[in-house]
Amino acid sequence: MIFVCADSVKLYAQADALKALDGEWIFVEDLTEGRTLEQLSAPMSSRFSLGVEEAAIVLNGHGSGHRDVRVALDGSVTKIEEPKTITSYKGSWKDGTFAYDVSFERLAGSPAGGIGLIRRTFQMTDKGLVVTVAIDPPSRGEAVGLYRHAEDIPMPTPAKAVISDLAWLSGDWVGKRSTGSSVEERWSPPGGGAMLAISRSINASGKMFAFEYLRIMEREGGLIYVAQPGGKTPTEFVLTELSANRAVFENPRHDYPKRIVYELSNEGVLTATIGQTKGGTPMRYEFKREAN
């Protein structure tokens, strides 16, 4: 007969709970109480990772600009020294919750004021990883958000469509911003089950500062939107809504944006809106068709 003491069982459970924090996490939902729809946002980065090591957690993508920050779980301090700031990380693991504080010491010659301390906690629940963030001095109080691994986030049900349903999007579209810069999207007519586009942003002095390859393709009875900002790794969005002059593409597994909407007004103005799946303050671009 094998006997296992209660302390050993507790240690095993704690180890499993800690191991569950490992990996990359994607923002899913704002759980902060009392916020309006427009105020909904991620409490920290929309995508971050936690690397579980023995007696430590390695942080990446936590919004500090620091990579591979090893935070010990025994309360000892990890310091990162920069020309104008010393950043200190201090972590703990208790009752299934990982927490760490980030404090900032501003050296001579650096601007006074600003954030003094950030406290973040991470707790696994049956819905996913709940992250709580508090900032001192306080700005908007505690913020709480739900994160999951990408593979645990369900994809939306695709809408039925063929590429000719988006013929209204074809053409050369140019928009002007208040800063004097311009952005353009040039969409080919539907053909071969696809539409192709190039997007380009030009500043007020006439210099291109951003570009993007775009395409919409038929797949399994629906449409997918593929974006490659700067020609980098493509990200796919699924068509979820379609009407005579409006198309909605979504990918809740992407950090940002999660939702892209194109809409053509009766006056011939094309609007592109990108943002979160729910709420927040989406980015909005308005285009007019360029005359040939």
| pLDDT of 34 | 93
| pLDDT of 124 | 95
| pLDDT of 112 | 62
Pairing of strands 23-30, 143-148: antiparallel
Cβ within 8 Å of residue 205, ≥6 positions away:
none
Tokens of 285: 């671009």
CATH architecture of residue range(s) 6-149: Beta Barrel (2.40)
CA-CA distance, 285 to 256, in Å (whole number)? 16
| pLDDT of 113 | 63
CA-CA distance, 160 to 23, in Å (whole number)? 34
**Strand spans (E) along 23-159:** 23-30, 47-53, 56-60, 69-72, 74-81, 85-94, 97-106, 117-124, 129-136, 143-148
In order along its 292 residues, the chain shows pLDDT tens digits of 454 444 433 444 467 889 999 999 999 999 999 999 999 999 999 999 999 998 999 999 998 789 999 999 999 999 999 888 899 999 999 989 999 999 988 776 666 667 789 999 999 999 999 999 999 877 668 999 999 999 999 999 999 999 999 999 999 999 988 888 999 999 999 999 999 999 999 999 999 999 999 999 999 999 999 999 999 999 999 999 999 999 999 999 999 999 999 999 999 999 999 999 989 999 999 999 997 6
Cβ within 8 Å of residue 255, ≥6 positions away:
26, 27, 45, 46, 47
CB 86 within 8 A of CB 107: yes
Same fold yes or no, 6-149 and 163-289: yes
Pairing of strands 259-264, 269-275: antiparallel
CB 97 within 8 A of CB 91: no
The residue whose two tokens read 């068709």 is 289
Residue 79: which of 62, 101, 60 has the closest Cα? Answer: 101
DSSP symbol at 125? -
Q: How far is CA 113 from CA 79, 89, 104, 107, 110, in A?
A: 20, 19, 10, 12, 10
Among the CATH numbers 1.10.730.10, 2.40.128.20, 2.40.160.60, 2.60.120.260, which is that of 163-289? 2.40.128.20
| pLDDT of 235 | 97
| pLDDT of 236 | 98
- Sequence spans of domains, the chain: 6-149, 163-289
CA-CA distance, 56 to 156, in Å (whole number)? 36
